[in-house]
């Protein structure tokens, strides 16, 4: 299994995404494979997070670029919520 056992417990931020059913089916199969490999259940959200992290960390070009960027300041929760609401409203007005 390419994905290592999940051991981190960073603070959680909610990210809502829509994906194709075929991707959800594969994710469920990967989730079952994780349990068979490590003997533990894993929530889909944790699995997706680790897969995204692994993918980004394996992208050498991205990691080189990332290393040259200044550290980002934490975003205040209320401001982030307003920004997400603005994005949602813009998406609705275009669709």
Write out pLDDT tens, residues 50-61: 899 999 999 999
- Tell whether 23 is covered by a domain: yes
- Tell whether 41 is covered by a domain: yes
Which percentage of the chain shows pLDDT scores above 70? 74
Domain ranges, residue 26:
19-58
- Tell whether 51 is covered by a domain: yes
Count of the separate structural domains present in the chain? 1
Mean pLDDT value across residues 8-30: 89
- Tell whether 44 is covered by a domain: yes
- Tell whether 10 is covered by a domain: no
CA dist., res. 53 & res. 41, Å (int): 19
Q: Could you tell me the pTM of the whole model?
A: 0.62
Q: Tell me: pLDDT of 88 over 70.
A: no
Q: Which token pair is 22?
A: 């075929």
Q: Tell me: pLDDT of 94 over 50.
A: no
- Tell whether 33 is covered by a domain: yes
Q: Is the dihedral of CA 54, 57, 58, 59 positive or negative?
A: positive
Q: How confident is the model at residue 12 (pLDDT cuts 50, 70, 90)?
A: confident
């Amino acid at each position: 299994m390419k994905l290592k056992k999940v051991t981190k417990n960073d603070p959680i931020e909610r990210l809502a995404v829509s994906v194709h059913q075929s991707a959800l089916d594969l994710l469920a199969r990967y989730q079952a494979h994780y349990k068979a490999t490590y003997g533990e259940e894993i929530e889909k959200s944790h699995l997706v997070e680790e897969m995204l992290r692994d993918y980004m960390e394996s992208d050498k070009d991205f990691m080189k670029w990332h290393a040259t960027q200044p550290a980002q300041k934490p975003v205040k929760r209320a401001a982030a919520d307003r920004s997400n609401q603005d994005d949602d409203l813009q998406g609705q007005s275009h669709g």
